[in-house]
Amino acid sequence: MPTITLTCTSQNATVAFTTPPNYAPRLSNLLTLNAYTPLWCPTLTIQPTPSSLAPYLSSHSLQPFSAIAFTSRTAIQAFHTAAAALRIPPLSHSGHPFIVAALGKDSELLHAEFLSRICSNSERIRVLVPRTATPSGLAEALGPGGGRRVLCPVPLVVGLEEPPVVPAFLQELRAFGWAPTRVEAYETRWGGPQCAEAIVKGSEDGRIDAVVFTSSAEVEGLLKSLSEFGLSFEEVKRRCPRLLVAAHGPVTAAGAERLGVKVDVVSSKFGSFDGVVDVLNVTFQRFREGRIEM
């Protein structure tokens, strides 16, 4: 690969990000705190559908299950909304230990008040946060299932192809001996034909220095909208020759590459958005030092 000289620094770098509205404020704030200029271009919308969880939240309806596996913050929020309307927690006071699992910073939502809505006996609940904040890491952390049932609140993807992440997660659970039950707790929808407009306009004068993807569905949403503008991602990169493509973790990176978008840097600490901002900082520091392999 050729060596190119870049002069951009974090103090004047415009960083586009395609994160949905429920996650965007956290990432935008981190970018601002690290002296970047955020350019928000959401390519997805997310809508919780807590009513879909109702069949699993009637009195003692969770009894056949041994675990809930949350793979996103939105799933936890949808579950919390559905459970908040209950007078009686769906898990009985006594019985086998019950696992509630979540990824990275999402686990902050598994506080005492939330858990009390699942079961009035806190000693029945075991909170599990895998060391590796990926669905695969969660499946591995759950360990051998022995035929036990696990409830998996996941998205219904509308207007885009479903990324392989959730089907692969369910398959991994089965491989570990779990019996997963998929319930669509929220909808992930394409942002529409014009959702790439901020990146299209920002690229017209070449002022975008980096783009951050936090899920592969965001990438597909961007590509689909760019095509509505008669553009490809390669054309955006031609307009912005120093454009750095960053992915929030290896799952997102693999999805982007599968869709034909080359990723330059990948966060190795993806339990929170701090990791992807850290990798931007390191990379732009190398830019300041004068030369970088691209």
In the prediction, which pLDDT does 72 show? 94
Question: What per-residue confidence (pLDDT) applies to 59?
Answer: 75
CB 89 within 8 A of CB 118: yes
Whether pLDDT at 3 is above 50: no
Instruction: Please write the tens of the pLDDT for every residue from 101-137.
Output: 999 999 999 999 999 999 999 999 999 999 999 999 9
Spatial contact of 138 and 168, defined as CB atoms under 8 Å apart: no
CB-count exposure of residue 40 (10 Å: 0-12, 13-18, 19+): middle
Share above pLDDT 70 across residues of the chain, in percent, rounded to a whole number = 94
* 223-256 confidence digits (pLDDT tens): 999 999 999 999 999 999 989 999 999 999 999 9
Asked if 40 contacts 199 with a C-beta cutoff of 8 angstroms, the reply is no
Write down the mean pLDDT value for the chain: 92
pLDDT in tens, 175-197: 999 999 999 999 999 999 999 99
CA nearest to 212, candidates 39, 33, 1, 26? 39
pLDDT at 218: 97
By DSSP bridging, strand 292-293 and strand 3-4 are: antiparallel
pLDDT computed for residue 1 by the predictor: 31
| Apex 235 CA angle, 255 and 211, nearest 5 | 50
Strand bridging mode 149-158 / 179-190? parallel
> 173, 148, 157, 178: which is closest to 63 by C-alpha?
148
CA distance 17 to 218: 9
Of residues 61 and 140, more confidently modeled: 140
pLDDT confidence of residue 289? 65
- Percent pLDDT > 90 in the chain is 86
pTM, 2 dp: 0.86
> Is the model's pLDDT at 5 over the cut of 70?
no
pLDDT of 285 reads 87
CB-based burial of residue 213 (10 Å sphere; 0-12 exposed, 13-18 middle, 19+ buried)? buried
Q: What is the pLDDT of residue 194?
A: 98
**Residue 292 pLDDT greater than 60, yes or no:** no
